[in-house]
Structure 1
Amino acid sequence: MKILHIACIGHHAEGIGTVLQKLVPEQLSLGQDVRIITVCVNQLYSNLPIVTITRRINFLKYLSLWMPDIVVFHSMYEMIYIQFYKVLINLNIPYLVQMHGALSISNYRKNYIRKLIANYLFFNTFLKKAAGIIYLNEQEYNNCVVKEINPLAVIIPNGCDLRPFSLSQEQSKPPLEIVYVGRIAIVHKALDVLVEAIRIIQLLNVENIHFSFYGNGDRKEQAIFSESLNGLEKYAEFKGAIFGDEKVKIMTSCNMFILTSRYEGMPMGVLEALSFGIPCILTPGTNLADSVEIAGAGWKTECVAQAIAECIIRSANEYSMNPQKFHRAAYEISKKYDWRTIAVQSLNCYRRFCGIL
């Protein structure tokens, strides 16, 4: 099967690029002919079968040389997608749209008027004419504001790498180390609310809890976030971006992972933490809070400072009574998100939508 992914990736590190960096090699290893078109300058993914195309005429030339069986558009609100999907319709090539959280209720509130107009003029038809819509989980589907436009929905989650389960001696030493690893996006990730929760913990004089924040992003936003931690030196520290072996070292020595996002698709950071056997503190906006809590692999809290503070204190107490239980549960739930499993699931979905059995 010939599969073409179209996305805006490569300009800077972000979730969709990370997904395709893992998913495409797995699909290739399963004997498929898989390629990627990015609609922006690619500075990151030279190891993938990827080209940059930003004009309709170049897209037509590309398809004249290599005709895919199915196309997957990733996310929304790229105007060039409108030109591309019309070409596909004319060539009778089916396409899918994978949302990645783009049209959740919370996300839709950002630039609401602009999105409302863009949907009315362009993107509602783009969705309606798709062979199907891919959601990352049931929560994303339930929270999508336009799911009635195209009811042909399927769920294909993000994945994570399988790795051996092990616990570090560092994880048994106080203080309890809670980490955030991700983009420094204060509103999106609700880091403002989390910092307020840490201030509540400080006021309550809770001992033996420490927060380490790792991530990159807009320089101005990083500076604002770093400044917001002033006065919390005993409890929290922003340590910048981490990659590779340094990241593995951090993930294998911490006790918990925290993500308090207002909205997400299916956050890769959480899946990665679970694959290291790290229990997570999550808000409903992550779309993973319920499944993680039900599995005994973490705790769910509302995205309110007082509720987050109370959840952190409660989770610290519960964790201290049986750390092994929570680490093992986190590792076990990660197994169902193995990238090979996700790749097989995605191929079965594509075959169904393009009529290849």
Structure 2
Amino acid sequence: MFSAMKILHVAPLSWKNPNGVTEAVTNLALAQSQFPQVQVGLLVSSVDPGPVPQLPLPVLLRRDMVHLAGWSSIWECVRSWLFVPDLVVFHSTFVPFHAWLARELRRRFVPYIVCPHGGMTREALAHKAWKKRLGRRLFFDALVAGASAIQYLSQGEYERSGDWGRPVIIAGNGVWPPPEEKLATPGRRDTREFLFLGRLQIEIKGLDVLLEAAARCQRELRQSQTRVRIVGPGCAQSETYLRDEVARHSLGDIVRVEGPVRGDAKAQAYATADVFLHPSRTEGHPTSVLEALSYGVPVVVTVQTNVLHQVLAAGAGWAATHDPGDLARTLVRLARAAPQTLAAAGRAARQLALQHFTWPQAAQKTLSKYTQILRLARAA
């Protein structure tokens, strides 16, 4: 179990440009706050997070503190507007604001954890590598060195992040499973719909591989009346690039690139999918994959999503690699699969999510890990 504690989550959340970190941190905080002995607050470190939703949590925005002079004033703001935390959890990587606040925490002997959400893997550090090398030298390595622990979302993320010289805890993300009447019915229709839903980061999410695979098997996809939906917020002109690639390969009749969806539209996207595609090159613990599982949608995932082994063991999906030819063969096999094959995998997907990937389960596990960290910090 865990002890009473006050937790402050600090994260660059954005409701203007939604991302996995925003969804994961918000829902984790909400789930943790449901335990009566736990007090949880959010400090939003992004400069322009957009319209902040009403949350049953105390929320402090960085933009409301711009008039303050000095980090001691900001600490007083946290103390008076929120509470004095027992533990601070910094989410994401390479945010200078986090490093500055961490210095103040160290000065006041307040322990903190770094949760990189996949941002410390070898693949992530190789993306815009020179900027990250500079960031490490200027502030990020010092932030990590002062942490009581690093929280990875999966064993795979930990293994691909290397040794940063700090204690490690592993606790992943979760979902709020939808009710039975909202579930997908894979394989029930004459047509097939394959869905990618997430941030449209071409290289990180493997969307270049997905489009190349679709181009290679476009004849078979048309014959089986299979369509591919790529849905999510753009990133650095990625939506334009994807649309151009769809046009270049003459895929407009079988591949649709769409903007972000929320609420009922997002639920409907999962509910109408027969298969969920996530050929990512690097992840922490992708919430979109967990959401798809919870809707009863079988998934095609790479080992880098860090859920592949559980998916295969449960019979809830299939493996993918970053070889376009290999992925194309998988797409064809699933486009031609018997309806009962997809239906059985969908039922297994739902059970996997219910048994292992709910937010209450994730909250309880993180709180138990936090208790261990606090005991060690107080004994030091």
Judge same fold: TM > 0.5, yes or no: yes
The answer (yes or no) to whether the contact 2:188–2:339 under 8 Å persists in 1 is: no
Give the alignment of 1:1-357 within 5 angstroms: 1-10=5-14, 12-31=17-36, 32-40=38-46, 41-48=48-55, 49-53=58-62, 56-65=71-80, 66-145=83-162, 147-150=163-166, 152-165=167-180, 171-203=187-219, 207-208=223-224, 209-218=226-235, 220-230=237-247, 231-318=250-337, 320-335=339-354, 336-355=356-375
- Per mean C-alpha deviation after superposition, the further-off stretch among 247-256 and 213-222 is 213-222
**Residues 168 and 17 from structure 1, CA distance in 2 versus in 1: closer, same or farther, beyond 3 angstroms?**
closer
> Structure 1: where are the runs of 5+ without partners?
none
Following superposition, the deviation at residue 71 of structure 1 comes to 0.4
Following superposition, the deviation at residue 171 of structure 1 comes to 4.4
Following the alignment from structure 2 to structure 1, what is the Cα–Cα distance between the partners of residues 60 and 129?
Answer: 32
**Which amino acid is the alignment partner of residue 357 of structure 2?**
Y
Following superposition, the deviation at residue 143 of structure 1 comes to 0.4
**Which amino acid is the alignment partner of residue 161 of structure 1?**
W
Q: 1:187 is paired with a residue of what secondary structure?
A: helix
Give the structure, 1 or 2, with the largest relative contact order (CA under 8 Å, sep 6 or more): 2
The answer (yes or no) to whether the contact 1:299–1:315 under 8 Å persists in 2 is: no
The answer (yes or no) to whether the contact 1:103–1:144 under 8 Å persists in 2 is: yes
**Residues 168 and 187 from structure 1, CA distance in 2 versus in 1: closer, same or farther, beyond 3 angstroms?**
closer
**Which amino acid is the alignment partner of residue 6 of structure 2?**
K
The answer (yes or no) to whether the contact 1:8–1:39 under 8 Å persists in 2 is: yes
Following the alignment from structure 2 to structure 1, what is the Cα–Cα distance between the partners of residues 351 and 109?
Answer: 43
Following superposition, the deviation at residue 133 of structure 1 comes to 0.7
The answer (yes or no) to whether the contact 1:182–1:269 under 8 Å persists in 2 is: yes
Following the alignment from structure 1 to structure 2, what is the Cα–Cα distance between the partners of residues 174 and 204?
Answer: 15
**Residues 205 and 124 from structure 1, CA distance in 2 versus in 1: closer, same or farther, beyond 3 angstroms?**
closer
- Per mean C-alpha deviation after superposition, the further-off stretch among 86-95 and 38-47 is 38-47
Q: 2:10 is paired with a residue of what secondary structure?
A: strand
Aligned-residue RMSD, C-alpha:
2.2
The answer (yes or no) to whether the contact 1:8–1:38 under 8 Å persists in 2 is: yes
Q: 1:97 is paired with a residue of what secondary structure?
A: strand
Runs of 4+ in 1 over 4 A off after TM superposition: 166-171, 203-206
> Structure 2: where are the runs of 5+ without partners?
none
Post-superposition CA distance 1:24-67 (Å, at most 9, x none): 12212212211111222332433232212366244222244331
The answer (yes or no) to whether the contact 2:197–2:230 under 8 Å persists in 1 is: yes
Q: 1:68 is paired with a residue of what secondary structure?
A: coil
Following superposition, the deviation at residue 117 of structure 1 comes to 3.4
**Which amino acid is the alignment partner of residue 257 of structure 2?**
F
Following superposition, the deviation at residue 108 of structure 1 comes to 0.9
- Per mean C-alpha deviation after superposition, the further-off stretch among 13-22 and 161-170 is 161-170
Following the alignment from structure 2 to structure 1, what is the Cα–Cα distance between the partners of residues 374 and 221?
Answer: 59
The answer (yes or no) to whether the contact 2:229–2:258 under 8 Å persists in 1 is: yes
The answer (yes or no) to whether the contact 2:153–2:285 under 8 Å persists in 1 is: yes
Post-superposition CA distance 1:195-243 (Å, at most 9, x none): 1100111255762122122222247321221121121133212233322
Q: 1:285 is paired with a residue of what secondary structure?
A: helix
Figure out how many residues of one structure are paired with residues of the other and give that number.
355
Following the alignment from structure 1 to structure 2, what is the Cα–Cα distance between the partners of residues 110 and 170?
Answer: 36
Q: 2:237 is paired with a residue of what secondary structure?
A: helix
Following superposition, the deviation at residue 321 of structure 1 comes to 4.6
